[in-house]
Structure formats: C-alpha cells, structure tokens
Chain A
Amino acid sequence: MDTLFAILQVATLVLFLVLLYRPLGDYIAHIYTGTKNLRVERGFYRMIGVDPTSEQTWRTYLRGVLAFSLVGVLVLYGIQRLQAVLPYSLGMPAIPEGLSFNTAISFVTNTNWQSYSPDVTMGYSVQLAGLAVQNFVSAAVGIAVAIALVRGFAYRRSGTIGNFWVDLTRGTLRLLLPLSIVTAVILIAGGVIQNFNGFTDVTTLTGGTQSIPGGPVASQEAIKMLGTNGGGFFNANSSHPFENPTAWTNLLQIVLMLAIPFSLPRAFGRIVGDNRQGYAILAVMSTIFVVSLSALSIFEASGAGSAPQLAGAAMEGKEDRFGIFGSTLFATTSTLTSTGAVDSMHDSFTSLGGMMPMLNMMLGEVAPGGVGSGLYGMLILAVIAVFIAGLLVGRTPEYLGKKLGPREIKLASLYILVTPTLVLAGTALSFAIPAVRDDVTSTSIYNSGLHGLSEVLYAFTSASNNNGSAFAGLTANTPWFNAALGAAMLLGRFIPIVLVLALAGSLAQQDRIPSTAGTLPTHRPQFVGLLVAVTVVIVALTYFPVITLGPLAEGLQ
C-alpha cells in the first residue's frame, strides 16, 4: 500500500515535469537566443553601462562572471558585518568575520552551506537584501555559463560566445523572477509565512510560553528551490513547518527544484538544432535519478541499524506529514540537484541511506544537477563518453559536429578532477593536520566512530559540489571548517566555470563537420547507456575507498 502511494507521488512529479519540459525548455531557449530586449532591460543596460548587442570572447565572458561574483562576495560580506545597524535585524549582532566569509562564498557560489543557525543569527535585512539576492543571481550565473557552453556547440567559426551581462539579466528578469513571484504566492496559500512580525510570544494551552517566529519566508523559499540554492530561512530548512507546511507543498518544492534543471536539456537540444540530443541527455539524467531514488527509499523503508530497529522505523529526523517516502524523494532531489535543502535530517538516515545523498553529490550533481551547473556538468561527461567511445573504435571523437581534440579533452578531464581533489584532500587534511584533527574530533564531530568520518566527508562533498546540505550534527562554525569549506566552495564553483568557458570558446571557433557513417550517434539508447556508465564508473573509481571507510563500513557492521 505504501509503495502504491509512493509510485503515485512519483507519477505526479513526472507528470508535472513532462508538462514543463517542452514549454519551459523552449522558453529558456527563446530567452537566450532572442535578439529583442525588453524596455526595462534596455533601461537597465544603460544604467549599468553595457551594450547588449555586443558579443564577448570567452575570456571577456569569464571576466564578467568573476567580477560579478567577487563583487557579490564583498557586498554580502559587508551586509553581514553591518547587520547590527541595518533595519529589521531583530536585535541580532554583526556576523563574525569567519562566518561572514564562509556564508558570503556559500551564497555566491549557489551552495548555501550554512555553518550557522539562521533562527538566531540572521535578521531580515541580511536574509532579503543579501541572501535572497544571491539566490537569484547565483542561479542566473549558473544558467548563463551552461548556455555559453551550448552556444559553443551551436556556433560556427565564432570568436564569441554571447554576452554575460545580457544572459545574467535575462535569466534573472525573464525566468527566475516571474516564476518566483507565482510560486511564492502559492506557497503562502499553503501556509508558508510572509511577514515582518519578528517573534510573537503566545501562551500555550498548558500555560507555557512559545515564541512564534515571523519573517519574509515565502519570497525566499520560492527562489531557494527554483534556483537550486537550498539555504533555509530557518535552521530546520524545509522540514520547518513555516517553510514547508504540508505534503503538497513538499511535492511542489520538489517540482520547483527539478523544473529548470530538467528543462535545460530541451533548451540545449533547441539551441544546437536537434531536439533528440536533448532527449538523450534527459534520459541519462532520469535513469540515474530513478535508480538513486529507489535505493534510498528501500534503505530507509527497511530501516536497518540499531536505532531504527529499536524504534520500529527510521523516523528519527523525519516529519510525520511527509513520512519516509516524502523524505527520501526530497533528499534525492535535493542532492542530485545542487540544492541542498532538507526536509529530513540526513545525519539520522540509516547508514546506507545516508550514503546515498553523498553518492548523489559525488556524481557531480548532473542528474539533473543545479540550474545550469547540472547541464554543463553532464555535457562535460558526454565529451568524456564520446572520447572513450572514440578510443574504442580508433576514430577522432566528435560531438554535435565538433571535433574533440587534445585541448577539449584536457579541459574536460581537468573539470572532472577538480571536485574529487577538493573532497578527498579536504577530508584527508581534516584528519592529517594534528591541530586540526584534535579540533575536528573534539569540537566538530557529533556522532563518534565511522559516522564521524561520514560527517566530515559529507561536509567536503557538499561544499566542493556546491550542494549545501549536511550531516548537520557536525559543528562547522569553527575556524578550520569556515576557512576550508569556504575555499572548497570557491574552487569547486569557479575552476569548473573557467574550464567550461574555455571549452565553450574553443568549440565555438570550430566549424561544424558533417556527420558521416562513422560518426557515433549521440541520441540513441546506446549512447545513453554509455554516458550513464561513464558517469557511474568515474565516481566509483574515485570515491570507493573513502565510502568503504565511512557509510559502507557502518552499514555492513
């Protein structure tokens, strides 16, 4: 019976995504290929001093991304440090330097890792003028970079790949903002709060006092999900009843996380002029998603491990209104995109269940991944898959009519080395540096033994892949974690972006070569299977040793 309800819930989700795929994907393609500018956009370009008709080389495009992101970090850092003098701060003091640094990077990189408890740290001004703004623009930056890469495949003999400021503006104003306005209002109807009331004390039925929080939550919740950001207004994130009050808002939030990432393959297919290529990428993403969701759901429903067995089910850290399946569907979605929002506490999952969100992130968040980052991550893997297929048959690999020579393969290979290096080095250093190890084991780790290693591994996996979820028992507001995770988020976001834009530039310069009988077709099930296999094998080879030391060992005890 429970399985039936689970299947119905997934069927509803699939229905929504199927209905969105073509119209939303086509709309996204239209946004980024249209030549007309809205009146309000023309005014904006004049104000900031940009010529919207000029195209940029990949180097100029990249400098725009980096300049805008650096300014974002500095502004967000400043807003946090000035919290005490800002209005609507609820009397909360300035955020300390280390935490401000970590949080500024976290929100600019679309990670939304939170070393702090927002309930007692962030007033309304920082939330809306700082964090919510980055929720929009960091998402728009991700989509812009993905579109630039797609243009690399679509353009012929072109020295340019688009205009960053135009892509950023259109993604924000035409895509994210209208969708956020609509969904924020729907969320309010479901019970998500939207006010500036501060804390309201009520006398409870038994005569105690309860301090009911207020805040502009719905406006932030909408873009938190749509932009695959994931940073909660409250500490409990999307498990908090004021962020996610009912089972249907839970499903809506899942739809919001997946809407843009799952529609981007359509936009990709449209822009390169072959919708079948979009369907192939979609098939790869969907296959991985379904397998991962099934695994987590089975692990949690069977409830292995001492505490779930004693209690009768794995309900520690889960809400009654969502139940086990509402929690596993959310967790899978959140970690296969780069969202990192939680409606249940991953630290309290069964041992093997807790491994699944980690594996999802280790896949590089490509099924379907974060807004933009998921598509460019998957296209990099497609380049690798085509290369491997080319090696097998002894032909120069080509994808979408573009030759993949040494330069392209080097860029793609470097891309897939970045996050594993950050994850494994960060985790290893946490235990290898004696002073750090003492601090990590005595202060930060909450659950001892193998689970403690998993907490640290999860943190670096989440930060390096710009996810933001956590095994939240870990106390991360320490000098080591604020600095190391801050660095991991920064490098995990921007090194891949540099490589992707460099690849886009070199692809755009090439002419398109006509496909021949010997060309590997990249829209057939054969290629879909190959791409799934490449994605999984790369992760398995990279992370198997450390997984066996953490969650796998705990689960098999």
Chain B
Amino acid sequence: MSTSRTFARQYGVAVRAMIVFTLVLGVAYTALITGIGQLALPAQANGSIVRSGNTAVGSALIGQSFTDADGNALPEWFQSRPSAAGNGYDAAASSGSNYGPENSDLLAAIADRQSAIAASDGVSVAQIPADAVTASASGLDPHISPEYAQIQVARIAAARNLPVDEVQQLVSNATTSRDLGFLGEPTVNVLRLNIALAGLAG
C-alpha cells in the first residue's frame, strides 16, 4: 500500500526500459541497417553518386542548377526546375517555397519565369509546362517533365552547334516512363541528361 514506493518503482522501470530501448533501437538497429546497406547496396546507401568521366559530379537523385555564378540560366545546359532550397539546389538546405496559391510574390515569380523561358527557348507562354515555372517541394527535384525538356531542345542544339536530332535523341534516352507503367509521372533526369550532353560535346 505504500504509494510512493510503487511510484518510485514505476519510474525505475521506465528509466531502465528507456536505456535498453535506446541501445537496441537507437544504436543496434541503426548499426544493423547501416551494415546491410553498406555491404549489400553500397551505391544506393551512399547517395547514388554519378560520375562524368572519373569525377563525381553529384547524385542522380539530387537536382542541380545549371546557371552562372549570378544565377542566370546557361543556355547550353538543360535547365532544372526553379528551386527554393537555399540559393537554389542547395542540398544542405532542402525546402519548398511554401508560397500560398494567392501569394503575390509567387504570381510575380511565375510570370518572370514564363517570360524568361519564352524569350530563351522561343516558345509561347502557353507551351511552357507548369513544372518549369514552379518550385518543387524539396527544392532538389532532379527531374523535369518530358514537355519541359522538349521545349529546351532547339535552344541547346543552337547553343552547342549540334544537330537537333542528336539532342532530341538524348532527351528520348533520358526519359523515364512511369514506375511499373502506372506509378508517378514520366520524367527526365536533368543531371544524367546533361552528362550525356557533355559526353557528346567532348
């Protein structure tokens, strides 16, 4: 009937349980999964790093910006989506814009992006797909839609003095259909596409 003693006993049990759980679930479990990952699936476990020639140039899963130091789009590279991660594709600061649907800053940004793309790619605003003018959730989206890749082909071919057909072929090769045929959306991985493009030029 000693309430304070059972009270203290409950907390003793709780503390000991917490210590054991921390060792089992925090340390041992993490170590086990890390071990399996590093032994059986090292490429994925270490970030799906992709190389151009012999040098690592990024991760196949993490988008990059293809701009000059001032953030201006470089016409000879396929462009990624707008990004709200840091100053753009900062992989250490993933983030969406969190602009609401009526936010005036967002409306201005979309209009700016549309006119910039219309000018650089020689297309009408109506031809520009939505993903080209909106920031992704992570700010690190490695993909663009096949439609956005398509409207960039002529610009790339002109900037690199390549036949349009050849650039077109690269885009087709880099286009991935839906997972299992019906999950998600068809996409183009921009980094992989640009690596292939660099291979052509070299």
| B35-50 contact mask (Cβ, 8 Å, vs A): 1 or 0 | 0111011001111110
Bound together, the chains give a CA A317 to CA B93 distance in angstroms of 15
Q: Is the CB of A326 within 8 A of B102?
A: no
Q: Does A248 contact B (CB under 8 A)?
A: yes
Residues of A within 8 A of B63 (CB): 241
> Mask for B84-96, Cβ within 8 A of A = 1, else 0?
0100011111111
Q: Is A478's CB within 8 Å of the partner chain B?
A: no
Determine the chain B residues whose CB is within 8 A of the CB of A68 once the complex forms: 14, 17-18
Within 8 A of B (CB), among A136-180: 136-137, 165, 168-169, 172, 177, 180
Contact residues, A115-147 vs B (CB, 8 A): 117, 119-120, 128-130, 132-133, 136-137
Q: Chain A residues near B44: list those with CB within 8 A.
A: 188-193
A308 contact set on B, CB distance < 8 A = 101, 130
Of A201-209, A267-275, A288-296, A537-545, the segment with at least 4 beta carbons within 8 Å of chain B is A201-209
Contact A239 B184 (CB under 8 A): no
Residue from A117, A169, A219, A316 within 8 A of B33 (CB atoms) = A219
Q: How far is the CA of A234 from the CA of B48 in the complex (A)?
A: 17
A71 touches B15 (CB 8 A): yes
Known interface pairs A212-B91, A308-B101; A188-B17 also in contact (CB < 8 Å): no
Which one of B21-29, B150-158, B159-167 contacts A? B21-29
| A306 interface hit (Cβ, 8 Å) | yes
- A206-B67 contact in complex given A348-B100, A472-B96, C-beta closer than 8 Å: yes
Residues of chain A lying within 8 A (CB to CB) of residue B81: 320
- In this assembly, does B34 line the interface, its C-beta being within 8 Å of a C-beta of chain A? yes
Distance, CA A446 to CA B61, complexed state (A): 29
For the complex, what is the distance from the CA of A204 to the CA of B36, rounded to whole Å? 30
**A:469-489 near B, CB below 8 Å:** 471-473
**Cβ-defined partner of A307 (8 Å) among B40, B89, B103:** B103
B10 touches A133 (CB 8 A): no
**Is A194 part of the contact surface with B, judged by Cβ < 8 Å?**
yes
Q: Is the CB of A128 within 8 A of B184?
A: no
B56 contacts A202, C-beta separation under 8 Å: yes
Report the minimum CB–CB distance from B158 to chain A (whole Å). Answer: 19
Tell me the count of chain A residues lying within 8 A, CB to CB, of chain B.
118
Chain B residues within an 8 Å CB radius of A184: 33
**Nearest residue, chain A, Cβ from B56:** A202
Taken residue by residue from 152 to 187, chain B's Cβ proximity to chain A (1 for < 8 Å, 0 otherwise) reads as 000000000000000000000000001110111101
- Cross-chain contact B22 with A133 (CB below 8 angstroms): yes
Partner among B27, B92, B185 whose Cβ is within 8 Å of the Cβ of A323: B185
A219 touches B138 (CB 8 A): no
User: Judging by beta carbons under 8 Å apart, are A311 and B47 in contact?
Assistant: no
How long is the Cα–Cα vector from A31 to B66 in the complex, in angstroms?
Answer: 54
Q: Looking across the interface, which residue of chain A has its beta carbon closest to that of B148? A: A320
CB within 8 A of B45: which of A72, A195, A306? A195
Shortest C-beta distance, A256 to chain B (Å), equals 15
A345-B96, A473-B99 are known contacts. Are A216 and B33 too (CB-CB below 8 A)?
yes
Q: Which residues of B contact A349 (CB under 8 A)?
A: 101
Asked whether, in the complex, the Cβ of A241 is within 8 Å of the Cβ of B142, the reply is: yes
Would you list which residues of chain A between 421 and 449 have a CB under 8 Å from chain B? 446-447, 449
B58: Cβ under 8 A from any A Cβ? yes
Residues of B within 8 A of A208 (CB): 64-65, 69
Write the residues of chain A forming the contact surface with B, with a CB cutoff of 8 angstroms: 5, 8-9, 12, 44, 47-50, 60, 63-64, 67-68, 70-72, 75, 117, 119-120, 128-130, 132-133, 136-137, 165, 168-169, 172, 177, 180-181, 184-185, 188-197, 199-200, 202-206, 208, 210-214, 216, 218-219, 222, 234-236, 239-242, 245-248, 250-251, 304-308, 310-323, 326-327, 342-345, 347-351, 354, 446-447, 449, 451, 454, 471-473, 554, 557
Instruction: Give me 9 A-to-B residue pairs in the complex whose CB atoms sit less than 8 angstroms apart, sorted by A's number.
Output: A47-B20, A133-B21, A137-B21, A205-B58, A236-B85, A247-B179, A247-B185, A307-B107, A351-B102
- The 7 A-B residue pairs whose C-beta atoms are closest, nearest first, are A247-B184, A239-B137, A473-B98, A305-B101, A313-B130, A323-B185, A194-B37
Given contacts A75-B22, A190-B44, A307-B103, 18 further A-B contacts (CB under 8 A): A50-B13, A64-B13, A119-B92, A165-B13, A188-B41, A194-B33, A194-B45, A202-B56, A206-B67, A247-B184, A247-B185, A250-B184, A312-B129, A313-B130, A316-B101, A318-B134, A321-B185, A345-B97
